[in-house]
Chains A and B, each alone.
Chain A
Amino acid sequence: MDQILHIFKKDVRRHWLEILISLALLALFTRHELHPWSERREMYGFSFSALLYSGRIIIPALIISWLLLILRVIQSETLVGDRQWWVTKPYEWWKLLLAKLFFIVVFINVPLYHSQLFLLHKAGFPVIPHLWKVVLLQLSIPCALILFMVLLACLTRNLGQALLTLGILLAVVIVVAWISSQTPDRGMHRYSELSQDISDAVLLGTLLFAVAWQFARRKTWQSRGLICLALLLNSGIGGLLPENRIERISPLASLQDATVQVSLRPFEPRHNSLRGWDGPSDNVTLALPLNVSGVAPGTLLSIDGVNVKADSPDASHWNRGWKSQSGQIWTEDERKTLYYVLDRKAYEKYKSTPYNLQIEIVFLEYQAADARMLDLASGTFRDQTLGSCRLNPVNDSGVQCLKPIQGPGFMARFDAVSSPCMDSDDPLALSDRKAWVAYAWQSPHTDYLPASNLSSVADYNLWFTPVTRHGTDDPRSRLHMSTHLCRNDQIWLARPVFKRQFRIHLELPNTRLLDLAEPD
């Protein structure tokens, strides 16, 4: 313990300026987060002064200050090379490691923890019940960031080398992201929880071991190799273990069993708008218009993905894999449009050939639980599920809320016709009462750790979107509308419970891609 404190004291003397800068930035972050309602930030543009005033620059600056602090403190006894003065002194490696971790905890985690408790207190939430949850909050994003920074500091010799490595990593991430964007089924692979847990545990364990190994033996290339191996394993475990492909985890449901009745809507004539200055993009979007019905009240179907396979009478066929979607189908919905993107080269090749299109759609089905009515009181009001909320003063189709640690999953329904602000005798409202219904939704959290955030107060919105009825999505229709919430409105609120995942199959014979393509 003496040696740990001895090294710690030396580091404090050496890095007082970096410590002060990071604490000052944390104070700025805390001050900014004291006023979390998000519309204030949305008012600013993208100029530097706007960045400064909006607080968007504070979090990146805070993270950079932590990075510099960690790099400097660990590299003051650099672990790379054989010319360091300290390596032939009687340092115990584990005491050195603990001294550095103690420094990081004292000057990063503890101040952040206090800032997070302070933010909870100032937002009007009790602090004591959230002590442990705030610790868990630190285990998500801050600790992941810190582990990355510690690894970077351990495996590079100095600040310049660390920044160069960071630049290389950034380039690798961009390349990998680009490659991943070119692969089919992107965003749609789902591995089993077991394989995900195993690969996460292997990665985390290896990263921690690499840090300890580097401190114990200073075998830099071994540690670097270990990390590369762990990353390869992490991406490979999903392939080694039984992969939960979309088809496997989403059983095909007959249209009768499907909770929702779906059919393809006849195409509407498409009018080409003026092309932009940049000319056509590299991709073409195919629009698949659907009629939907039959979703029971209290049920939500989230559209997860769509796959289009095309076969032609001359035996040629093509398929670009699953594409993720982000729409929902509620009870009152009557029509939806799915979008399927393919590259222009393929489109130009196939666009005029009549194909039999096989369309598959994956749905996630949720059921409402603990449903109740919630009065939207004037000013700020409290709700056990939502936290501290108010009507969004900038956009009245939303309710703004603050909640300790993270926002909840929810299903919310608003019927404008029954709103005190609506004239219920309005002939427009009477023509299709269901068209005035709007829904808001957030999927439930399933992770062990809270959502990644530096602030302990989640700042989120319930955005109400009107259901899509026949005619309501046409901008020329009188029924084209947006939602307007007002004081004393009532909303139906429930907790979403995941029920099942399934897919349905539709066929569209003798169709040209040309007829489905969205205009540029």
Chain B
Amino acid sequence: MTSAIRTHDLVKRYRRLTALDGVALDVQEGAVYALVGQNGAGKTTAIKILMNLISATSGTAEVLGLDSRKIRGKAYAQIGYVSENQEIPEWMKVGSLLDYLREFYPTWDLSLEKSLIKQFDLPLDRKIKALSRGMKMKLALASALAFHPRLIVLDEPFGGLDPLVRDQLIEGLLERAAESTIFLSSHDLAEIESFSSHVGYLDSGKLLFSEEMSSLATRFREVELTRETDQPLPSPLPDAWLQPKTSGALVRFVESRFDEQKTPADIQRVFGSVKDVQYRPLSLRSIFLALARKTEEV
């Protein structure tokens, strides 16, 4: 498979602040890739570099095989970009904006446009200025989908939206997932988990991991075990064990490199014999929190 997005050692510095620190991304074509991280982790900066809205301090980025610094003009005819921070021309009416945009895209699909208008319930005669935030996002997404883009880039598309609008947007997005690569950033993990195929975790400008959602779900487990005796936690614990907690003989931690053979062996090596061990899968949100707290501890 070819890469829709690939970055190598991407660095962005704003004077003393390092917003991105050696980020290496590889997003395969057809993937639904979620870039997650706390506010200020560098997600928007990364997307702006990919969209050639700002320049990287060093490193390279390729989007659809093109150096991101060369993305301009016609190259955007293959990319649908939606950001919560975009300044849409609010003096236009919904219909006139779509009419205006249609001429820029050779692949604009009028029937798809109509179906998106219907699906998102867009009022064609209303001025954009008079639309709610949710409606504006739906309009932005409709205008980014109607030309069958090869790549859809969404920067925090669901922030501050009510659940109904969010579901509509996700539904609209998923219907086009088969024909496009979707790259989105978010700090709302619950919505990402339901439809992302890949996830990358950005923390303070560093990409801590980037992998398939299924592999992530397999790799992270909450481990709960009961020891024979009540004693302090041995030190040091393996690096992959996050957030270790103890309560009497009970020990709980998050295993970030779960392996059916290796993890029980590690437990045996660290604690000796234990009475009971349970391995529970984690939600993306729990994984995210475990990683975030680990970073805070560091």
List A residues at the B interface (Cβ < 8 Å).
2-3, 6, 10, 13-14, 76, 82-93
Q: Is the CB of B73 within 8 A of A88?
A: no
Q: Is the CB of B48 within 8 A of A85?
A: no
Q: How far is the CA of A87 from the CA of B54 in the complex (A)?
A: 11
Interchain Cβ contacts within 8 Å, total number: 48
Q: Is the CB of B86 within 8 A of A93?
A: no
22 inter-chain pairs at a CB distance below 8 angstroms, sorted by A residue, are A2-B103, A3-B103, A3-B104, A6-B100, A6-B103, A6-B104, A13-B96, A83-B86, A84-B87, A85-B88, A86-B89, A87-B53, A88-B79, A88-B86, A89-B101, A90-B74, A90-B75, A90-B76, A91-B73, A91-B104, A93-B72, A93-B73
The 8 closest A-B pairs by CB, nearest first: A82-B53, A88-B81, A90-B77, A90-B76, A92-B73, A90-B104, A85-B86, A6-B103
Q: How far is the CA of A498 from the CA of B84 in the complex (A)?
A: 68
Q: A78 to nearest B CB, angstroms?
A: 8
**Residues of chain B with a CB closer than 8 A to A82's CB:** 48, 53-54
Q: How far is the CA of A93 from the CA of B86 in the complex (A)?
A: 19
Q: B142 to nearest A CB, angstroms?
A: 14
User: Which of B79, B81, B91 meets A14, CB within 8 Å?
Assistant: B91
**Residues of chain B with a CB closer than 8 A to A2's CB:** 103
List B residues at the A interface (Cβ < 8 Å).
48, 51, 53-54, 72-77, 79, 81, 83, 85-89, 91, 96, 100-101, 103-105
Give the nearest-CB partner of B101 in chain A. Answer: A89
Q: How far is the CA of A488 from the CA of B89 in the complex (A)?
A: 68
**Residues of chain A with a CB closer than 8 A to B48's CB:** 82
Q: How far is the CA of A88 from the CA of B87 in the complex (A)?
A: 11
**Residues of chain B with a CB closer than 8 A to A93's CB:** 72-73
Q: Is the CB of B85 within 8 A of A83?
A: yes
User: Which of B54, B74, B88 meets A92, CB within 8 Å?
Assistant: B74
Q: How far is the CA of A88 from the CA of B73 in the complex (A)?
A: 8
**Residues of chain A with a CB closer than 8 A to B86's CB:** 83-85, 88
Give the nearest-CB partner of A94 in chain B. Answer: B73
Q: A192 to nearest B CB, angstroms?
A: 42
Q: How far is the CA of A87 from the CA of B86 in the complex (A)?
A: 10
User: Which of B53, B54, B96 meets A88, CB within 8 Å?
Assistant: B53
A-B contact sample (7 more), CB < 8 A, given A6-B103, A83-B83, A90-B76: A2-B103, A83-B87, A88-B51, A88-B81, A90-B75, A91-B76, A91-B104
User: Which of B51, B72, B88, B100 meets A10, CB within 8 Å?
Assistant: B100
Q: B283 to nearest A CB, angstroms?
A: 33
Q: How far is the CA of A87 from the CA of B96 in the complex (A)?
A: 18
Q: A10 to nearest B CB, angstroms?
A: 6
Give the nearest-CB partner of B86 in chain A. Answer: A85
Q: Is the CB of A90 within 8 A of B73?
A: yes
Q: How far is the CA of A471 from the CA of B51 in the complex (A)?
A: 82
**Residues of chain A with a CB closer than 8 A to B77's CB:** 90
**Residues of chain A with a CB closer than 8 A to B76's CB:** 88-91
Q: Is the CB of A90 within 8 A of B53?
A: no
Q: How far is the CA of A209 from the CA of B104 in the complex (A)?
A: 26
**Residues of chain B with a CB closer than 8 A to A14's CB:** 91
**Residues of chain A with a CB closer than 8 A to B75's CB:** 90
**Residues of chain A with a CB closer than 8 A to B96's CB:** 13
Q: Is the CB of A85 within 8 A of B103?
A: no
**Residues of chain A with a CB closer than 8 A to B87's CB:** 83-85
User: Which of B73, B89, B104 meets A85, CB within 8 Å?
Assistant: B89
**Residues of chain B with a CB closer than 8 A to A10's CB:** 100
**Residues of chain B with a CB closer than 8 A to A6's CB:** 100, 103-104
Q: Is the CB of B105 within 8 A of A90?
A: yes
Give the nearest-CB partner of B103 in chain A. Answer: A6
Q: A460 to nearest B CB, angstroms?
A: 46
Q: How far is the CA of A88 from the CA of B88 in the complex (A)?
A: 12
**Residues of chain A with a CB closer than 8 A to B79's CB:** 88
Residue among B74, B86, B91, B96 with the highest chain A CB neighbour number at 10 A: B86
Q: How far is the CA of A83 from the CA of B51 in the complex (A)?
A: 11
Q: A159 to nearest B CB, angstroms?
A: 14
**Residues of chain B with a CB closer than 8 A to A86's CB:** 89
Give the nearest-CB partner of B82 in chain A. Answer: A88
**Residues of chain A with a CB closer than 8 A to B100's CB:** 6, 10
Q: How far is the CA of A72 from the CA of B89 in the complex (A)?
A: 13
Q: A271 to nearest B CB, angstroms?
A: 69
Residue among A14, A76, A88, A89 with the highest chain B CB neighbour number at 10 A: A88
Give the nearest-CB partner of B102 in chain A. Answer: A6
**Residues of chain A with a CB closer than 8 A to B73's CB:** 90-93
Q: How far is the CA of A86 from the CA of B87 in the complex (A)?
A: 9
**Residues of chain A with a CB closer than 8 A to B53's CB:** 82, 87-88
**Residues of chain B with a CB closer than 8 A to A13's CB:** 96
Q: Is the CB of A76 within 8 A of B89?
A: yes
Q: A7 to nearest B CB, angstroms?
A: 9
**Residues of chain B with a CB closer than 8 A to A91's CB:** 73, 76, 104
**Residues of chain A with a CB closer than 8 A to B74's CB:** 90, 92
Q: How far is the CA of A86 from the CA of B89 in the complex (A)?
A: 9
Residue among A2, A84, A93 with the highest chain B CB neighbour number at 10 A: A84
Q: B182 to nearest A CB, angstroms?
A: 16
User: Which of B54, B85, B91, B104 meets A89, CB within 8 Å?
Assistant: B104
Q: A181 to nearest B CB, angstroms?
A: 40
Give the nearest-CB partner of B75 in chain A. Answer: A90
Q: How far is the CA of A6 from the CA of B96 in the complex (A)?
A: 12
Q: How far is the CA of A61 from the CA of B83 in the complex (A)?
A: 40
Q: How far is the CA of A157 from the CA of B89 in the complex (A)?
A: 14
Q: How far is the CA of A91 from the CA of B83 in the complex (A)?
A: 18
Q: How far is the CA of A86 from the CA of B53 in the complex (A)?
A: 11
**Residues of chain B with a CB closer than 8 A to A90's CB:** 73-77, 104-105
Q: A8 to nearest B CB, angstroms?
A: 12
Q: B137 to nearest A CB, angstroms?
A: 13
**Residues of chain A with a CB closer than 8 A to B88's CB:** 85
**Residues of chain B with a CB closer than 8 A to A84's CB:** 86-87
Q: A459 to nearest B CB, angstroms?
A: 42
Give the nearest-CB partner of B89 in chain A. Answer: A85
Give the nearest-CB partner of A87 in chain B. Answer: B53
Q: How far is the CA of A76 from the CA of B100 in the complex (A)?
A: 14
Give the nearest-CB partner of B153 in chain A. Answer: A88
Q: How far is the CA of A86 from the CA of B74 in the complex (A)?
A: 13
Q: A423 to nearest B CB, angstroms?
A: 75
Give the nearest-CB partner of B90 in chain A. Answer: A85
Q: B159 to nearest A CB, angstroms?
A: 15
Q: How far is the CA of A263 from the CA of B86 in the complex (A)?
A: 77
Residue among B54, B100, B104 with the highest chain A CB neighbour number at 10 A: B104
